Amino acid sequence: MSCKIANKSLTSGVWTATLIASNRPRIRAVHLDRDLPNVTVTETESPDEWALSVPIHASLINDGVQTFVILNDETGEKIDSFTLISGEELSDDIRAEVDLLRAELDMLKRAFRRHCLETQ
């Protein structure tokens, strides 16, 4: 049975999502090749929708990149994944570099426009 994920969020250490599936899917959440405990799939009021809850224990939140994978336990298919990034590694994070490049590009655009106005 296939299922899809919608409306995902992470709040207070619990990753939640809506599963779209015709029957209750069997779901596993995995971190570093270990199954996470207390993963729940519960019925919702909408047909073919199920509430998925994956608690993230504090011991799994560490410096670096932590990736969690959501699997369909019946087929082994990867349904989704999410990543937590924290600690010193963030100082060299590519997103910070891109943000810095954007700021520098904006500065260069302003200087170029000013130069063009002055030379006309």
4-46 pLDDT per residue, tens: 999 999 999 999 999 999 999 999 999 998 999 999 999 999 9
Tell me, yes or no, whether 92 and 80 share the same domain.
no
> Is residue 61 a contact partner of residue 24, using CB atoms and an 8 Å limit?
no
Q: How far apart are the first and last CA of the chain?
A: 67
> Is residue 64 a contact partner of residue 88, using CB atoms and an 8 Å limit?
no
Confidence of residue 1 (pLDDT cuts 50, 70, 90): low
| pLDDT recorded at residue 76 | 86
Tell me, yes or no, whether 70 and 27 share the same domain.
yes
The pTM of the full predicted model, rounded to 2 decimals, is 0.73
Question: Three-state SS for 62?
Answer: coil
CA distances (Å), origin 90, targets 82, 87, 98, 99, 120: 17, 6, 13, 13, 44
Whole-angstrom distance, CA of residue 87 vs CA of residue 63: 4
Tell me, yes or no, whether 80 and 30 share the same domain.
yes
Tell me, yes or no, whether 16 and 47 share the same domain.
yes
Tell me, yes or no, whether 8 and 63 share the same domain.
yes
> Is residue 85 a contact partner of residue 65, using CB atoms and an 8 Å limit?
yes
Structural domain including 106 reads: 88-120
Question: Three-state SS for 61?
Answer: coil
Tell me, yes or no, whether 66 and 21 share the same domain.
yes
Tens digit of each residue's pLDDT (9 = 90 or more) over 55-75: 999 999 988 889 999 999 988
CA distances (Å), origin 57, targets 30, 31, 38, 47, 120: 12, 11, 10, 31, 63
Tell me, yes or no, whether 34 and 70 share the same domain.
yes
Provide the number of structural domains found in the chain.
Answer: 2
Tell me, yes or no, whether 20 and 71 share the same domain.
yes
Structure tokens given for 11: 């709040």
Tell me, yes or no, whether 30 and 82 share the same domain.
yes
Tell me, yes or no, whether 32 and 74 share the same domain.
yes
